[in-house]
Amino acid sequence: MTELAIDVRGLNKSFGKKRVVKDFSLQVRKGEIYGFLGPNGSGKTTSIRMLCGLLKPDSGEGTCLDYDVLRETAAIKREVGYMTQRFSLWEDLTIRENLEFVARMYGMKDRKTVVRDALEQLGLAERRNQLAGALSGGWKQRLALAACMLHRPRLLLLDEPTAGVDPQARRDFWEEIHALAAGGISVLVSTHYMDEAERCHRLAYIAYGNLLATGTPDEVLHLFRLSTWAVSGPRAPLAVLALKLHDQPGVAHVTAFGNTLHVTGVDEAELERAIAQFRADPELAWTRSAPTLEDVFIHLMPKNGDAPA
């Protein structure tokens, strides 16, 4: 038994002629929350499913939960809880009935006790007789998490679990996830939210099958020596400025955040020369800004072009 929940090297996966994941290698510690980020269609979900035994790699090697990812996928799946982005339980059943049905599917003994404990742990007891179809997005999310925890998995796979959920429900959800991780459960979660990425212990950025960056949020933030300026002002001048900056040498990308633009480059001196002609505009306020995770991930995307055919 090792301290690594996942330890894989050189995983590959193709569908037909399209190679979706290329030479993917990763290590995830037990009790760690590992976030996966990247553009849609980049291979995030395929990579996670291979790690968890839900999809067999074409080649590569390694272990998940001390089982071989090529030869022992059935054993891995028995110890994985999988929560999909789309609510996949039965909307015409109550919360309790849904959990009892899932417990029967797992063939669990003492199902009533297991369901009762799940209802209490996830704060669902008072709503146990409410139809799942009548729940808000946040409560559906909580029910889905309870369902995938019934068989007491050692690894959770969460595929964009908070899409369409309000901020308070997202915060409550992440508190539950951190509590589970503190209890030794490893978590793989794909997300497009930068605030959620910052809540992970470690991150991986995947684009079109390639693992481009990995590390703690702070390590990923400092992988590239990006220089960033923030410029604020009235909307119309900012819109015009954004168009002009896109064509300037030294400007890697321009990103709007409300009434502020982030102007980022990889060479500080070249970036300053590019923006010098615009800084005299009295309607615009320029300040140096620390690059954010979003700046880093936006910077990574253009380097890979379109997804390969």
Return d(Cα 253, Cα 264) in angstroms, integer. 6
Same fold, 4-220 and 227-290: no
Average pLDDT of every residue of the chain: 89
At 302 the pLDDT is: 53
**Domain ranges within the chain, ordered by starting residue:** 4-220, 227-290
pLDDT digits (tens, 9 = 90+) for 186-200: 999 998 888 899 999
Give the gyration radius of the chain's Cα atoms: 22
At 170 the pLDDT is: 86
Please determine, for residue 304, whether its predicted confidence score (pLDDT) is greater than 80. Answer: no
Tell me the DSSP string of the chain: --SEEEEEEEEEEEETTEEEEEEEEEEEETT-EEEEE--TTSSHHHHHHHHTTSS--SEEEEEETTEETTT-HHHHHTTEEEE-SS--S-TTSBHHHHHHHHHHHTT-SSHHHHHHHHHHHTT-GGGTTSBGGGS-HHHHHHHHHHHHHTT--SEEEEESTTTT--HHHHHHHHHHHHHHHHTT-EEEEE-S-HHHHTTSSEEEEEETTEEEEEE-HHHHHTSS--EEEEEE--HHHHHHHHHHHTTSTT--EEEEETTEEEEEES-HHHHHHHHHTTTT-TT-EEEEE---HHHHHHHHGGGG-SPP-
Q: Considering only residues 304 and 167, tell me which one the structure prediction assigns the higher pLDDT.
A: 167
pLDDT digits (tens, 9 = 90+) for 144-161: 999 999 999 999 999 888
Rounded average pLDDT over 234-239: 91
Return d(Cα 212, Cα 115) in angstroms, integer. 41
Rounded average pLDDT over 250-268: 91
At 76 the pLDDT is: 92
SS3 readout for 142-168: HHHHHHHHCCCCCEEEEECCCCCCCHH
Return d(Cα 168, Cα 84) in angstroms, integer. 20
Please determine, for residue 95, whether its predicted confidence score (pLDDT) is greater than 50. Answer: yes
At 2 the pLDDT is: 62
Please determine, for residue 162, whether its predicted confidence score (pLDDT) is greater than 90. Answer: no
Q: What percent of the chain has pLDDT over 70?
A: 97
Return d(Cα 247, Cα 237) in angstroms, integer. 16
Please determine, for residue 19, whether its predicted confidence score (pLDDT) is greater than 80. Answer: yes
pLDDT band for 179, please (50, 70, 90 cuts). Answer: very high
Question: Distances in Å between the alpha carbon of 11 and those of 21, 147, 218?
Answer: 7, 30, 26
Q: Model pTM?
A: 0.84
Please determine, for residue 77, whether its predicted confidence score (pLDDT) is greater than 80. Answer: yes
Return d(Cα 49, Cα 287) in angstroms, integer. 43
Rounded average pLDDT over 241-267: 91
Second-level CATH architecture of 4-220: 3-Layer(aba) Sandwich (3.40)
Please determine, for residue 102, whether its predicted confidence score (pLDDT) is greater than 80. Answer: yes
pLDDT digits (tens, 9 = 90+) for 201-224: 999 998 888 888 899 999 998 888
Q: What is the CATH number of domain 227-290?
A: 3.30.70.920
Return d(Cα 219, Cα 222) in angstroms, integer. 5
Q: Are 39 and 153 in contact (CB under 8 A)?
A: no
- 90, amino acid identity: W
